[in-house]
Each structure stands twice: as C-alpha cells, then as structure tokens.
Homo-oligomer: A and B are copies of this chain.
Amino acid sequence: MSKVRVCSFSMSLDGYVAGPDQSLEHPLGVGGEQLHNWAFATRTFHQVHGMGGLDDGETGLDDEFIARSSQGVGAHILGRNMFGPVRGAWGDEAWNGWWGDNPPYHHPVFVLTHHPRDPLEMAGGTTFHFVTDGLESALEQARDAAGGQDVVIGGGAATVRAYLQADLVDEMHLAVAPVLLGSGERLFDGAVRLERFEFEPIRSSSAAAHFVLRRDR
C-alpha cells in the first residue's frame, strides 16, 4: 500500500526547521538555508537542479537519503507558505512557485489553501492543484493522483505538524544539522501522537544525523 512520507526534513540541533522572519528574500527564514547544506552538497541535488556536470556533488549516505526522497513518490502535498509568499486571494495568479518554470517535482503537487485557484501546469510534469477543503481531502486527491506510489508531505513545518496531529504520516526522515538557529519555527511544538513511531538505527554523515521513524501500525 502506498505510504505517506516526510523526507529529508532538516532540523537544527536546537529544534528549528526554519529560521525566524520568513519572507520573499528568506523563504527558509533568516539563516534557514544552512539547515540544508548537507543536501545541497549531494550529487542527486546537483542533478535534480541541473547544477554542474554529472560527476558534481557528493555521493554517500547523504546522497542516498536525497535520492530516496523522490524514489517511489507519485505526488506531493505542500502548505501554502511552502508554495509561495502570497497571502489572501491569488490576485492575478502571477506567482507560480519558488522553483521557476520546471519545478523539481515532476508529478502532481497539491497545495493547501483557503483560496481557490485553477490548476497550474508547469514544464516537466509538475501540475500544482489548489485544495481548499482540508488536509484529508488533499491526501485523498494526492493518493489518487499518485497511482499507487507514495505521497510526500513536503512542508512547511505547520503542514507536516498538521498531518502528524491527524495521525496520517507513515514514515518520517529527519536530518539534524550541525547548526544552532536560536529561534525560528519548531517542528515538534504541540500535541503530536509521538508514541506511534518507532526509530530505525541512527545513521550519520559528518554533516547530518539521519533519523527515520515509522508508524507502528
């Protein structure tokens, strides 16, 4: 059966998954980019984002985790802030995501919002669908669209937390980075049924400690 996964979600040692003061200039909050240095360095990241030649970027454990993040995935769900900084109604609908014309998803992406908008078809197989009737509906639509493959909850923190609180996440991979942010947005903040999860043995590179949690069915 297809699973609901959280993949390669980066957290600082002091528990923040985004820095403070998120904005158009700082979509990950001030200092938040550092959380992802381990990911940026990988070969898979370089390839997915068309950076450098085929041999650029590091292989190894971190790369395995980044590669695994997109393997067997048929759809994504994103919170609205993860899609963009626009608030309220969509207006002229000029905003088409942070990722340019060819986003790195290459499959249907369901964006949680209170404001209806027509689907937005991008290059490379990514179509953004805007879901106004809640996280369970978004999951149902994503499952249908994924055709038996897994659905990834892509973030941000509030969206992952909402799916955790609804007990709808089967597997979660968190990467703890050697960074202290001091403030920002916490993933674990509020009631989550944490006792539902079992840990795989920890594995780490020098740049990230990888924790994989599975829901005990």
Interface residues in chain A, defined as those with a beta carbon under 8 Å from any beta carbon in chain B: 13-15, 174, 176, 178-182, 186-188, 191-192, 194-195, 197, 199, 201-209, 211, 213
Contacts and interface: CB of A to CB of B under 8 A. Distances in A.
B197 A180 contact: yes
Given A180-B188, A186-B15, A204 B209 contact: yes
Contacts of A186: 15
B197 A208 contact: no
A194 B31 CA distance: 13
B15 A176 contact: no
Please state the number of chain copies in the assembly: 2
A56 B182 CA distance: 40
A90 B211 CA distance: 44
A14 B202 contact: no
A134 B4 CA distance: 51
B207 A202 contact: yes
A206 B200 CA distance: 8
B206 A176 contact: no
Contacts of A213: 180
A119 to B, nearest CB: 36
A209 B199 CA distance: 13
Given A13-B176, A14-B15, A182-B194, 13 more contacts: A13-B188, A15-B186, A179-B199, A180-B188, A180-B194, A180-B213, A182-B192, A182-B195, A202-B204, A202-B208, A202-B209, A203-B206, A209-B209
